[in-house]
Amino acid sequence: MKRRIGLWMMLLALVLVFTACSSGGGSSTASPSSAPSPGGESSAPSEEPPKQLSLKIGLPGSYEVTKKEIIDKFIETHPHITVEIEEAPWGDFVSKIATQIAGNTMPDVWFQENATILGYGKRGVAEDLKPYIERDLDASEYIDALFAAGTLEGNVWGIPHGINSVALAYNKSAFEAAGVDLPTDDWTYADLIEAAKQLTVKEGKDTKQFGFIGSSSITTGWFPWIKQAGGMVLDDTKTKSMLDDPKTLEGLNQLRQGIEEGYFTNGDYIKANGGELEVFATGKSPLYMMQYSQQVAMNTNFPDTDWDVVKVPKAVDGKRYVPMVTNSWLVSSRASDDSKEAAWQFLKFYLGDEAQTILAESGASLPVKQSAYSVIDNSTTKPLNKKGFTEGVSEGGTTLDENASWAEWRLLVQQEVNEAIVHRNKSVEDALASAHKGVQQVLDENQ
């Protein structure tokens, strides 16, 4: 009896298997990959083509600032995105964009000064890119400046178009002629001052050679001199002026003293002798805080000058503070969702290996992706020691205390610095007292 039941069980199992095979394989619904084609044959799965998108890119400075090769490569590799380019000289673009923002006719993506982007974020003009970055990028592949347009609240209003950092440039021929030891990465600002005095050459009442180019600008002048002395312009929250700090006063007094005593150049001398690069290149002032982008002009206009760079000197606290200027791309918060996505696809491409390598090869600015730095390290153009720029900014890169009201308060400080250091119409102490009051008022009004 048990044997007969077993045979019936086997027969039933065979029937079930045959039925399943006849119905297409054990599922009552055919899968997309096995669905029959109109001709009766199975067809391979087909991916849905990407959605057609449109994108308007704004280029201040046109292709003199943004490499055309990058834009062309993006268009070539993203055929589903119809791209319109809006380009103009920098000043014209900046004037026009303000009108476009008021009328909601601005591009979907463009770039301007980083501080301007922070202001746009506060006004609701810029899209927060933090969710896109977290979705698509590995932040560990980039230098910290990727978040230069970030805020204390965690928003990221833009990503860098490029990094323009500072290093200490020196004219080798002038150093050798004076018998002064070349600068090193271990230099402090005290070493810089001492070398500037040794390099200064006077003939009677006239100065034949100044030791150091004394700049009154924010990036290579008053900001780094304040930082190296242990002072601050704003506090860490960027809401309080620190221009009344005694260390801030000390730093600016060092800059003024160098100009007054004649071992730093003054503005009149620079103007009368062709500008900072020519004064440096001709050895009339062998030490210079140089921005990275200026190497292009140096190599073009002064190819025979024997020069190089080291890192920005160390501050009194042993740390290095390396000013870096960034222009930043932003995505319009008022663009359509499709255009925002297209804009991010462009920025993601701009941050990719190919575009960042093109940027590195240009020499106009530093990239933000670490892999592109191999191009710079292997470059044979001057300066040979490009690590003075790259390692310097990696070690101590700092923005210029940028916040949403930067353009306004920075102008107030610059005016007072000019009065105290350029024209010397008032003491540094009085200039800082006036600047402190004005800057704090601007900060309070923009809370």
* pLDDT-wise least confident of 21-35, 125-139, 183-197, 364-378: 21-35
User: 402: closest CA among 131, 161, 120?
Assistant: 120
Instruction: Evaluate whether 255 touches 428 at the Cβ level (below 8 Å).
Output: no
| Confidence category of residue 212, pLDDT binned at 50, 70, 90 | very high
pLDDT of residue 49: 84
pLDDT of residue 47: 72
Distance CA 66, CA 89 (A): 12
Better-predicted residue by pLDDT, 49 or 265:
265
**Is 150's pLDDT higher than 90?**
yes
pLDDT of residue 174: 97
pLDDT of residue 29: 31
Q: What percent of the chain has pLDDT over 90?
A: 88
β strands within 146-226, DSSP E = 159-171, 201-203, 206-209
Torsion angle (degrees, nearest 10) of CA 302, 306, 309, 315: -100
**Is 359's pLDDT higher than 90?**
yes
Those residues with Cβ within 8 angstroms of residue 21's Cβ, 6 or more apart along the chain or in another chain: none
Q: What percent of the chain has pLDDT over 70?
A: 90
User: For 421, which DSSP code?
Assistant: I
As to burial, measured by CB atoms within 10 angstroms (0-12 exposed, 13-18 middle, 19+ buried), residue 78 is middle
Phi and psi torsions of 309, nearest 5°: -135, 155
Amino acid making up residue 238: K
- Give tens-digit pLDDT for 121-133: 999 999 999 999 9
Tokens of 333: 């918060």
| Confidence category of residue 202, pLDDT binned at 50, 70, 90 | very high
Distance CA 281, CA 307 (A): 8
Find the mean pLDDT for residues 165-179.
97
β strands within 64-158, DSSP E = 81-88, 109-113
Distance CA 91, CA 114 (A): 16
Q: Reduced to 3 states, what is the DSSP secondary structure of residue 411?
A: helix
**Is 23's pLDDT higher than 90?**
no
Distance CA 428, CA 416 (A): 8
| Confidence category of residue 205, pLDDT binned at 50, 70, 90 | confident
Distance CA 177, CA 124 (A): 57
**Is 384's pLDDT higher than 60?**
yes
Could you give the domains of the chain?
53-164+325-398 (3.40.190.10), 166-324+401-445 (3.40.190.10)
Better-predicted residue by pLDDT, 337 or 13:
337
The CA–CA distances, whole Å, from 35 to 20, 21, 48 equal 17, 16, 16
| Residue keyed to tokens 């010397």 | 424
Tokens of 237: 């929250």
Instruction: Evaluate whether 229 touches 192 at the Cβ level (below 8 Å).
Output: no
pLDDT of residue 45: 53
Find the mean pLDDT for residues 241-255.
98
Find the mean pLDDT for residues 329-333.
98
Mean pLDDT of the chain: 91
Q: Reduced to 3 states, what is the DSSP secondary structure of residue 68?
A: helix
pLDDT of residue 48: 82
Amino acid making up residue 119: G
Say whether the peptide bond before residue 383 is cis (omega within 30 degrees of 0): yes
Cβ atoms within 10 Å of 50's Cβ, excluding its own: 11
- Give tens-digit pLDDT for 35-89: 333 333 444 555 788 899 999 999 999 999 999 999 999 999 999 999 999 999 9
| Residue keyed to tokens 């290093």 | 167
